[in-house]
Amino acid sequence: MKIISVLFVCLGNICRSPAAEAIFINLLEKKGLTDCFIVDSAGTGSWHIGKKADYRMRIAAERRDINILSRARQITSHDFEKFNYILAMDDSNFRNIQDLKNRTSSTDFSSIKKIQNFRSVFNEQEVPDPYFGGDEGFDNVLDILEDSVSGFLESIS
């Protein structure tokens, strides 16, 4: 089977996109598909490069037996050559990804989409950023991502 590469992208790469990455990896492990995928996450901003995911997101995910192990990094032009799918958490990051691609890459290798295009249960058009809210926002984001990330996997399986 051909290896499929997936990059999840949010603003700082410490809440939404590392959670989406971990949820996706968890689903792949349950289905025995980890050898078929390369999975990563990134942010459009550079504020948190090298940091672990927000501790509140890690705690909320751990309660669901999902381990967020990634470290924050910023999306680069090379990602457009490496990843089959680049999935944005919201409209702003989607536009930022498109702008970066238009400025730095001439390849059409990557399919850039919004993760919420794959939702089936939740009506949110964007994955809300829980960073400045309370703890319940992190659980809400995990609920939303579990829905849309599983929908994405179904769409490519």
Scan for tokens 């940091």, then name that residue.
Answer: 51
- Tokens representing 107 are 């390849």
Count Cβ atoms within 10 A of the Cβ of residue 45 and give its class: 0-12 exposed, 13-18 middle, 19 or more buried: middle
Looking at the annotation, which residues are catalytic?
10, 16, 129
- Alpha-carbon distance of 72 to 54, in angstroms, equals 10
